[in-house]
Amino acid sequence: MAIEKQRHGCLTTWLILMIVANSITALMYLLNSQTIRQTSPGLPSWLFPVLIIVCIFNLICTIALFKWQKWGFWGFLGSSITALVINLSIGLGVGKSLLGLIGIAILYAVLNIGESNKGWSQLE
């Protein structure tokens, strides 16, 4: 008989927050890219399609984590590094660019909260 996996409440909350935040961000980039370009005319034309793809990829990774797939975490790590490189390439600055890594640190932390219901040890 298979052992039923249990998710800690903080992990569930963080995953739901990631779904909401990435959905809103993708829609913002999709629907408001012209407005953002007008306020920041120096942004490259490739930026918004890439950021939309990163947000959609993050949604896929979140679903993977809900289904206990460890590759979802590694996918988030990859998208965080991608966002870091993008932010540096558009001149955002090192400090602000590094702030984007906070999300992956929080995800790792909430995956390791708990004892019997620790998320990280339940990932496949």
Quickly tell me which residue has 């929080």 as its tokens: 106
Return the percentage of the chain with pLDDT > 70, whole number: 98
DSSP symbol at 43? S
Map out the domains of the chain as residue ranges.
9-122
- What would the pLDDT profile of 36-77 be if each residue is shown by its tens digit? 889 988 889 899 999 999 999 999 999 999 999 999 999 999
Cα dihedral angle (54, 72, 105, 120), rounded to 10 degrees?
Answer: 170
pLDDT for residue 115: 82
What gap in Å lies between CA 66 and CA 107, rounded to an integer? 13
Which tokens sit at 34? Answer: 């012209």
What is this structure's pTM? 0.90
Cβ partners under 8 Å of residue 20, min gap 6: none
What gap in Å lies between CA 64 and CA 74, rounded to an integer? 11
Which tokens sit at 49? Answer: 């399609």
